[in-house]
Amino acid sequence: MSARPAPLWLTAGVVPLVNVAAAFLAAGLVIALIGENPLEALQIMLRGALGSQYGLGYTLYYTTSFIFTGLAVAVAFHAGHFNIGGEGQALMGGLGAALVALSLPFLPWPILLPLCVLGAALAGAAWVLIPAYLQAYRGSHIVITTIMFNFLAATLLVYLLVGPMKMAGSMAPETARFVPGATLPLMNQMAAWFGLTLTRTPLNLSFVFAILAAIMVWVLIWRTRLGYAIRTVGANPDAAVYAGISPARITVIALLISGGLAGLMATNEILGVQGRLINEFTAGAGFVGIAVALMGRGHPFGIVLAALLFGVLYQGGAELAFDKPKITREMIIVIQGFVILFAGALEMMFADRIASLYQRFAGQPVSA
Amino acid sequence: MSEAFQIILLAVDSAIRLSVPLLFACLAGLYSERAGVVDIGLEGKMLIGAFAAGATASLVPNPWMGLLAAVLASVLFALVHGFASITQRGNQIVAGVAINVLASGLTAILGNAWFNQGGRTPQLPSGARFNEIVLPFAESARAIPVFGAIYAEVISGHSVLVYGALALVPLTWFILYRTRWGLRLRAVGENPAAVDTAGLSVTALRYSAVIMAGILCGFGGAYLAIAQSAGFITDMTAGKGFIALAALIFAKWRPVPALGACFLFGLLDAVALRIQGVSFPGIGQVPVQAIQALPYLLTVVLLAGFIGKATPPRAVGVPYLKERS
């Protein structure tokens, strides 16, 4: 006799929360280890991230990037693949946006801007094409190839930014500025069109794109034939074949979507904030996407929440480093590592125990 | 002596120095993956090892204590990886990513908090490092044509860890192919169910392999922090763990080819350092990035199946679940 499966609120609500709590507990221990008060640190972080319009703007600006990279990882997860190359695909997304912006500056903005966004998505997708093809048709492991492509993207970008694409007369590895028509408006500028006054922060229109992308991913995965095919391939590629689905084809398509989403991260940083292509602009957002996707359990709603949490961490962490010089910004990376560990690799550590606890209290029979 | 010969000798010499951390990490990955546990956490284990070595050697000015600390720290991380991938049967790749991210964050934050040098550990005096060993007769051998120069420039004058790493290659070959443990290790990476049926513990074998990987990554980290350099600096490994992973695939998970692959990638690194700003006749300047990209590019080409076929151990990445009836 088997026990009734645990309800959704338990597996999708309590278990992830316990995992994340474990990650924060571990991070708190690290803060205590360097002689600071973890609770005070948490307070400073929350106040810094959410306590003012300025802080909130920065928080949502970070959130934007993480939604894109988190969705990218999640779409690949649904097809059963681990796209660890978000970092490289996002870098190439920046390159794609910059190539459009710098080569077609004469176009009016209603044409140029969408082309730039498209350029970012296409370049991100293009960067995963070879790994995706090799995974689908030659069985080369996508994890290894995308790691290699991360390094290739980084070296390619350095080469271009110190060489062919470098702005004449500049010492820094960066391109010339884009024309205004190729940049996204900041949120405070858009608010001003409606007569509202907001503090100037890097938060820009791409935040809206990110939310739209999350909704579209939800529709794609759970409401379309393609999404069904992606989930089938992810769950059981052999069964997919019998259902008339080509796992190889779906693998390539899912990974291209994944790469495109990662590439769109550049709309936030390059089209929204920098207005030119700079080196290493992703600043690890591709890897945060892994933590975000794991924490959000592959669901767009969970991903937006997890991205928001990491946005709070990034902005709050910056404030924390300012207040407490001993807790440097790398504290965020430590928390990120613990989240990947507890919500990812040790995902099931608490799950069984929580389920059996629930069954004891709910009076359900426990399977022997 | 001709100038070209001298340049080649120096390039080979620096290639050896640069390939040693790759070799340690590559052999570490070899033990782990041959036993069926994917290890993309080589980078993180080396990094935490380097930090532990630099930090310890700055407090206790003895390189051996530094090495011991590096091994302990790296093994601790390896055990976390093992716990997640073997005991909890979690995703081994995700566990490896967690190790890398944790190591990168922890070394920076602890280094800054403990030493107040922006994440560095204090500059080590010569006595706290593994110094270069001049082999006997190195100077007098210079008089011998060709061999003398090779002996003095390339073979002599490395730290004990370099010779250790080179000795590890035949040792690993022997362990893997000529000992009982090695046979079992390879078996558990190919067919864990068969090993289980033979009455051996899959868990214990995989843990022993993961711990071995931890020890060797500790050696690699110690080499970076207290042999090659005089202290730890932030993000010291700079992707070497991933190049080692590439070398492991390139070597098709075999110890002797691993030496060749690591040396090749070390040589590419040495060449990239040397050709900066040099103009070649007929070609002009070769961008450094082109050379730096080669290890990654070659690995992808290999994985694509264009240079032979790299077949990983069959059970790699698959957690073992003993079936209960």
Which residues does residue A204 pair with via DSSP β-bridges, in sequence order? A186
Query: What range defines the domain where residue B139 resides?
Result: 3-303
The pLDDT value recorded for residue B232 is: 95
Whether B211 is in a domain gets the answer yes
Least confident window among A243-247, A324-328, B203-207: A324-328
Which residues does residue A278 pair with via DSSP β-bridges, in sequence order? A174
Which residues does residue B158 pair with via DSSP β-bridges, in sequence order? B133
Nearest CA in chain B to A135: B304
The pLDDT value recorded for residue B1 is: 56
| Pick from A144, A326, A335: CB nearest B249 | A144
Quick one: average pLDDT of A203-213?
Answer: 96
Query: How sure is the predictor about B307, in pLDDT bands with cuts at 50, 70 and 90?
Result: low
Burial of A29 by CB count in 10 Å (0-12 exposed, 13-18 middle, 19+ buried)?
Answer: exposed
> Is B93 within 8 Å of A348 when comparing Cβ atoms?
no
| Alpha-carbon distances, residue B115 vs A87, B33, B71, B108, B229 (angstroms) | 31, 36, 21, 11, 17
Whether B315 is in a domain gets the answer no
Nearest chain A Cα distance for residue B97, angstroms = 8
Domain count, chain B: 1
Nearest CA in chain A to B306: A138
Quick one: average pLDDT of A51-79?
Answer: 96
Question: How remote is the C-alpha of B107 from its chain's centroid?
Answer: 18
Task: For chain A, give the percent of residues with pLDDT over 70.
Answer: 97
The pLDDT value recorded for residue A1 is: 41
Return mean pLDDT, chain A. 91
Nearest chain A Cα distance for residue B296, angstroms = 5
Task: For chain A, give the percent of residues with pLDDT over 90.
Answer: 71
Quick one: average pLDDT of B38-42?
Answer: 94
The pLDDT value recorded for residue A5 is: 65
pLDDT tens sequence across B266-302: 998 888 877 777 777 777 777 888 888 888 888 888 8
Query: For testing the chain B interface, which of A280, A346, A349, A352 should be mutated: the one with the most B CBs within 10 Å?
Result: A346
| Pick from A152, A328, A341: CB nearest B102 | A341
Q: Please report the residues numbered 216 through 275 in chain B whose beta carbons come closer than 8 angstroms to any beta carbon of chain A.
A: 239, 242, 245-246, 249
Query: For testing the chain A interface, which of B37, B76, B77, B102 should be mutated: the one with the most A CBs within 10 Å?
Result: B102
Comparing B281 with A167, which gets the higher pLDDT? Answer: A167
| Chain B residues close to A346, C-beta within 8 Å | 83-84, 88, 90
| Alpha-carbon distances, residue B276 vs A179, B134, B240, B254, B286 (angstroms) | 34, 30, 20, 33, 8
Nearest CA in chain B to A332: B105
Burial of A89 by CB count in 10 Å (0-12 exposed, 13-18 middle, 19+ buried)?
Answer: buried
Least confident window among A168-172, A274-278, A332-336, B262-266: A168-172
Q: Which two tokens stand for residue A112?
A: 């140029």
pLDDT tens sequence across B137-185: 777 877 788 888 888 778 888 889 999 999 999 999 999 999 999 999 9
Nearest CA in chain A to B110: A34
Return mean pLDDT, chain B. 89
Domain with residue B101: its CATH number is: 1.10.3470
Alpha-carbon radius of gyration of chain A:
22
- pLDDT of B116 over the 50 cut: yes
| Chain B residues close to A134, C-beta within 8 Å | 300, 303-304
The pLDDT value recorded for residue B126 is: 85
Whether B168 is in a domain gets the answer yes
> Is B300 within 8 Å of A140 when comparing Cβ atoms?
yes
> Is B300 within 8 Å of A143 when comparing Cβ atoms?
no
Contacts of A359 (CB under 8 A, 6+ apart): A3, A4, A6, A365, A366
B231: left (phi over 0), alpha (psi -120 to 50) or beta: left
CATH architecture for segment(s) A43-325? Orthogonal Bundle (1.10)
- pLDDT of A367 over the 60 cut: no
Q: Which two tokens stand for residue A340?
A: 């990947």
Least confident window among A329-338, B194-203, B271-280: B271-280
B305: left (phi over 0), alpha (psi -120 to 50) or beta: left
Burial of A5 by CB count in 10 Å (0-12 exposed, 13-18 middle, 19+ buried)?
Answer: exposed
| Alpha-carbon distances, residue A11 vs A7, A16, A126, A355 (angstroms) | 7, 7, 36, 8
> Is B98 within 8 Å of A84 when comparing Cβ atoms?
no
Comparing A267 with B322, which gets the higher pLDDT? Answer: A267
> Is A346 within 8 Å of B84 when comparing Cβ atoms?
yes
- pLDDT of A270 over the 90 cut: yes
List chain A domain ranges.
43-325
Query: For testing the chain A interface, which of B303, B314, B321, B325 should be mutated: the one with the most A CBs within 10 Å?
Result: B303
- pLDDT of A202 over the 80 cut: yes
Whether B121 is in a domain gets the answer yes
| Chain B residues close to A84, C-beta within 8 Å | 93, 97
SS3 content of chain B, % helix, strand, coil (to 5): 70, 0, 30
Comparing B266 with B7, which gets the higher pLDDT? Answer: B266
Contacts of B158 (CB under 8 A, 6+ apart): B16, B17, B132, B133
| Chain A residues close to B112, C-beta within 8 Å | 326, 328, 330
Query: How sure is the predictor about A107, in pLDDT bands with cuts at 50, 70 and 90?
Result: very high
Nearest chain A Cα distance for residue B116, angstroms = 8
| Chain A residues close to B304, C-beta within 8 Å | 134, 138, 140
Quick one: average pLDDT of B40-65?
Answer: 95
Helix axis angle, B202-223 to B240-250, nearest 10°? 120
Whether B170 is in a domain gets the answer yes
Taking alpha carbons only, the member of A288, A313, A330 closest to residue A67 is A288
> Is B93 within 8 Å of A143 when comparing Cβ atoms?
yes
Comparing A342 with B283, which gets the higher pLDDT? Answer: A342
Query: Hey, which of A180-189, A219-228, A327-336, A340-349 has the most confident mean pLDDT?
Result: A219-228
The pLDDT value recorded for residue B292 is: 83
What pTM does this model have?
A: 0.90
ipTM above 0.85, yes or no: yes
CB pairs below 8 Å between A and B: how many? 146
Query: For testing the chain A interface, which of B91, B94, B235 should be mutated: the one with the most A CBs within 10 Å?
Result: B94
Whether B313 is in a domain gets the answer no
Residue that is written with structure tokens 């993180």 in the block: B44
Least confident window among A19-28, A66-75, B79-88, B303-312: B303-312
The pLDDT value recorded for residue B325 is: 40
CA distance linking residue A267 with residue A263, whole number of Å: 8
> Is A340 within 8 Å of B97 when comparing Cβ atoms?
yes
